[in-house]
Amino acid sequence: MQETPSLALTFLERSQALVDDELKRLLSASPAPSVRLSEAMAYSVLGGGKRIRPALCLAAAQAMGQDITKALVPACAVEAIHAYSLVHDDLPAMDDDNLRRGRPTVHIAFDEATAILAGDALQACAFNWLAQTPSISDRARLSMVAELAVASGQAGMVGGQAIDLESVGKTLTIESLETMHRHKTGALIEASVRLGAMTADPAPGDQLDRLTDYASALGLAFQVQDDLLDIEGDTNVIGKPQGSDLARDKPTYPSLLGIDGAKAHLQTLLDRALAQLDSFGDNAEPLRAIANYIVVRSH
């Protein structure tokens, strides 16, 4: 694995700046009639975060030989969906979290009803923005809207969240754990890459397939690393044998594979993701760098 993913950090920082500016522009273009709702939406979507999904969207456009600014609006759309999912995931009816990104969650900083509405509105923003993506055909725009709807709805992220809620306290097989993650987090990561690639308008099918396979492996790698980071952040759990309270209330890769097994799986997924980029040459450097960053990230 790459030790110092500086290209990824540079690309992520650049993406973050571009995406933050564009998000501010898009949000201010259609303000809510309620100041409180506008503030909650801005708090959710402009409050930090690694911006991995929009960076993947921009990097996929570059891999297809496009100017990354063509993918800026789709990148903001996937980030709006991500922000909405986090706001709703933090609600008392779901994970009931008080802190996210080191700050009070939206329902704590505002109130529960405002958090629900802010998430709902951000979801609507994503599709409105996508429908206005500049410099591509109506056909490509329509395909993007359909892709993001499928990836974020019941056949994708929302479906994965439902499996997750149903799996609390259960022992899952590695296959069913992967099914959950492919839906819950993988679908949006795949859509981020595919939307970026679709700015080539039209994106050749074989290239789109390879980038989809890259994103599919990367989405799982992201989750394995997330599970490993959760363990490293919990000194009570480190060193306990597989099958003990590593599993706690939710199944994870380390609870099913052990810590070494999860690390080996992470490497396999990274190799699988990177292998898909061979034919893209230097244009895929940011996608390679982000993949390496995802598996060595510390938060």
Nearest to 227 by CA among 193, 181, 287: 181
Nearest to 75 by CA among 6, 10, 146, 26: 26
- Which residues between 227 and 286 bind ligand GRG (CB under 6 A)? none
Q: Is 86 a residue that touches ligand GRG (CB under 6 A)?
A: yes
Nearest approach in angstroms of CB 202 to ligand GRG is 29
Looking at residue 64, the DSSP 8-state letter turns out to be T
Q: Is 225 a residue that touches ligand GRG (CB under 6 A)?
A: no
Nearest to 114 by CA among 30, 24, 214, 36: 36
Q: Which one of 14-22, 56-64, 156-164, 166-174 is the stretch in contact with ligand GRG (CB under 6 A)?
A: 156-164
Q: Which lies closer to ligand GRG via its Cβ, residue 86 or residue 203?
A: 86
Q: Which lies closer to ligand GRG via its Cβ, residue 89 or residue 201?
A: 89
Nearest approach in angstroms of CB 180 to ligand GRG is 10
Q: Is 103 a residue that touches ligand GRG (CB under 6 A)?
A: no
Q: Which lies closer to ligand GRG via its Cβ, residue 39 or residue 226?
A: 226
Q: Which lies closer to ligand GRG via its Cβ, residue 95 or residue 283?
A: 95
Q: Is 49 a residue that touches ligand GRG (CB under 6 A)?
A: yes
Question: Which amino acid is it at 222?
Answer: F
Position with the least CB separation from ligand GRG: 49
**Six-digit token string for 130:** 């996508």
Backbone angles phi, psi at 100, to 5 degrees: -145, 135
Can you say whether residue 51 is alpha, beta or left, with left for phi > 0 and alpha for psi between -120 and 50 degrees? left
For residue 99, list its beta bridge partners.
104
Q: Which one of 85-93, 169-177, 206-214, 270-278 is the stretch in contact with ligand GRG (CB under 6 A)?
A: 85-93
Q: Which lies closer to ligand GRG via its Cβ, residue 161 or residue 207?
A: 161
> Out of 39, 120, 213, 226, which residue is the one contacting ligand GRG (CB under 6 A)?
226
Please state at what angle helix 187-197 crosses helix 52-63, rounded to 10 degrees.
Answer: 40
> Out of 114, 143, 185, 276, which residue is the one contacting ligand GRG (CB under 6 A)?
185
Helices (DSSP H) in the chain: which residue ranges? 6-29, 35-45, 52-63, 72-89, 106-109, 112-131, 138-152, 157-167, 174-181, 187-197, 205-232, 253-275, 285-296
Q: Is 101 a residue that touches ligand GRG (CB under 6 A)?
A: yes
> Out of 52, 130, 237, 277, which residue is the one contacting ligand GRG (CB under 6 A)?
52
Q: Which one of 21-29, 58-66, 80-88, 260-268 is the stretch in contact with ligand GRG (CB under 6 A)?
A: 80-88
> How many whole angstroms separate alpha carbon 136 and alpha carbon 201?
6
Peptide bond into 286 cis (omega under 30): no
> Out of 22, 41, 71, 89, which residue is the one contacting ligand GRG (CB under 6 A)?
89
Binding residues vs ligand GRG (CB under 6 A): 49-50, 52, 85-86, 88-89, 94, 101, 157-158, 161, 184-185, 226
